[in-house]
Amino acid sequence: MTKVATKTTTMNLRLDVETRQQLQSYADNLGIPATTLVVANIKQLLKSDEVRFTRTLEPTPYLVKIMEQTEADIKAGKKFAGPFNGKEAVAYLNSLVE
């Protein structure tokens, strides 16, 4: 397997000591370096063009729409296939396109 070299650059951030310690502790709890946590958040910001400040997991508006539609379908008595194991899921999906 060949590794592809990625160019990187350094960015310095000024943080107060307490914030830095909290960031490090948070990253340690996740089991990742603090730098990885910061870079992942920057990439997500650039990809989604959205900034979220929350400590809880909240579904995106798209997911909320899907969940609401699913609840409405269940109340309307629509039948759903599943649950599946991996092989059953593939077989079911294949049956939809045949």
Query: Residue 59: how many CA atoms within 13 Å on its side-chain side?
Result: 8
pLDDT at 3: 66
CB atoms inside a 10 Å sphere around CB 89 = 13
pTM, rounded to two decimals: 0.47
Q: What type of residue is 56?
A: T
- Rounded CA separation 35/98 (Å): 48
Give the separation between CA 35 and CA 41, rounded to whole angstroms. Answer: 10
What are the pLDDT digits (tens) for 20-79? Answer: 999 999 999 989 999 999 999 999 889 988 887 777 777 888 889 999 998 898 889 887
